[in-house]
């Protein structure tokens, strides 16, 4: 973990007791982050204010990024070059967008996203020995996911916030997230200095809820 470069706005995040940065969309209660869920209120605030779901700082003009799981990565990859940029994610998703560097970082460090044998809600790192590259080959071509850029997003808010992405720009598939370490270093080097994350996307849940209520 110490060898993985951390984007500056992620390094500024509030930390949990172990010292891990806590995402902008992770809710807090009693002074502790709950990594098992994401906060609809926080996701709504990020969507309306066009902020990164990981670091909470603004998304600038240009493409937005997200990490997609194996099935969606496979669906995107079957498009040939001509259709590539016309690919639109017609299915809605609850996964919100973020910065290039932040999404690469998430793909590398998040056990659920980075390891084919990992599962959401299991916050223990999967031991390297349990993973054998050959096991994941097959219909998904060895892909466990991809970091993908889209021109635009739209969203609808209800019980959850549902996103629709269009205008595929870049598609960076991986088997293990750490294949993107070089891309992460490049993205961090290219990342302009961000303004600080606002207080309503830090560790004060009532502030996040009030902000979301204003938009709902
Ligand atoms: Zn970010």
DSSP code of 203? T
Pairing of strands 145-157, 64-69: antiparallel
- The two tokens of residue 32 are 């502790």
Distances (CA, A) of 175 to 2, 84, 105, 157: 21, 21, 15, 33
- The two tokens of residue 74 are 């496979």
Q: Does any domain span residue 75? A: yes
Q: Does any domain span residue 99? A: yes
CA of 128 to the centre of ligand 1 (A): 28
- Range of the structural domain that residue 156 is part of: 8-215
Q: How far apart are CA 14 and CA 157, in angstroms?
A: 26
CA of 140 to the centre of ligand 1 (A): 28
CA of 71 to the centre of ligand 1 (A): 24
Quick one: pLDDT at residue 141?
Answer: 64
Q: Based on the number of CB atoms within 10 Å of its own CB, is 31 exposed (0-12), middle (13-18) or buried (19 or more)?
A: exposed
Q: Does any domain span residue 2? A: no
The pTM (predicted TM-score) of the whole model is: 0.84
Residue of higher predicted confidence among 104 and 83: 104
Asked which of 71-75, 77-81, 106-110, 206-210 is least confident by mean pLDDT, the reply is 77-81
Domain total of the chain? 1
Q: Is the pLDDT of residue 51 over 70?
A: yes
Quick one: pLDDT at residue 89?
Answer: 56
**Residue 130 pLDDT level (bands cut at 50, 70, 90):** very low
Q: Does any domain span residue 83? A: yes
Q: Does any domain span residue 165? A: yes
Q: Does any domain span residue 55? A: yes
pLDDT digits (tens, 9 = 90+) for 28-48: 999 999 988 899 999 999 999
Quick one: pLDDT at residue 83?
Answer: 54
CA of 97 to the centre of ligand 1 (A): 9
Quick one: pLDDT at residue 87?
Answer: 63
Q: Does any domain span residue 73? A: yes
Q: Average of pLDDT values for 74-103?
A: 75
CA atoms within 13 A on the CB side of 129: 0
Token pair 């990859």 is found at 77
How much of the chain, in percent, has pLDDT values that exceed 90?
54
- Return phi, psi of residue 171, to 5°: -140, 110
pLDDT digits (tens, 9 = 90+) for 142-189: 778 899 999 999 999 999 999 998 888 899 988 888 899 999 999 999
CA-angle at 62, arms to 190 and 205, nearest 5°: 85
Over its C-alpha atoms, the chain yields an Rg (Å, rounded) of 17
Q: Does any domain span residue 21? A: yes
CA of 10 to the centre of ligand 1 (A): 7
CA of 102 to the centre of ligand 1 (A): 5
CB atoms under 10 Å from CB of 210, counted, come to 13
CA atoms within 13 A on the CB side of 195: 6
CA-angle at 28, arms to 213 and 96, nearest 5°: 65
Q: How far apart are CA 23 and CA 54, in angstroms?
A: 5
Q: Is the pLDDT of residue 78 over 80?
A: no
Cβ proximity of 94 and 136 under 8 Å: no
């Amino acid at each position: 973990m110490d060898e993985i470069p951390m984007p500056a706005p992620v390094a500024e995040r509030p930390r949990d007791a172990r010292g891990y940065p806590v995402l902008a969309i992770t809710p807090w209660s009693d002074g502790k982050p709950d990594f098992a869920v994401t906060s609809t209120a926080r996701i709504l605030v990020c969507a309306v204010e066009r902020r990164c779901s990981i670091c909470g700082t603004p998304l600038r003009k240009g493409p937005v990024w997200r990490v997609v799981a194996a099935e969606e990565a496979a669906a995107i990859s079957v498009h040939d070059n001509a259709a590539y940029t016309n690919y639109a994610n017609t299915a809605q998703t609850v996964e919100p967008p973020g910065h290039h560097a932040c999404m690469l970082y998430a793909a590398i460090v998040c056990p659920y996203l980075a390891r084919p044998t990992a599962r959401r809600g299991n916050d223990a790192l999967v031991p390297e020995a349990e993973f054998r590259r050959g096991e994941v080959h097959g219909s998904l071509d060895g892909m466990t996911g991809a970091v993908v850029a889209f021109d635009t997003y739209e969203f609808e808010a209800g019980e959850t916030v549902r996103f629709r992405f269009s205008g595929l720009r870049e598609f960076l598939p991986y088997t293990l997230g750490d294949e993107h370490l070089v891309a992460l270093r490049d993205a961090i080097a290219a990342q302009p200095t961000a303004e600080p994350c606002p207080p309503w996307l830090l560790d004060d849940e009532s502030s996040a809820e009030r902000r979301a209520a204003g938009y709902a």
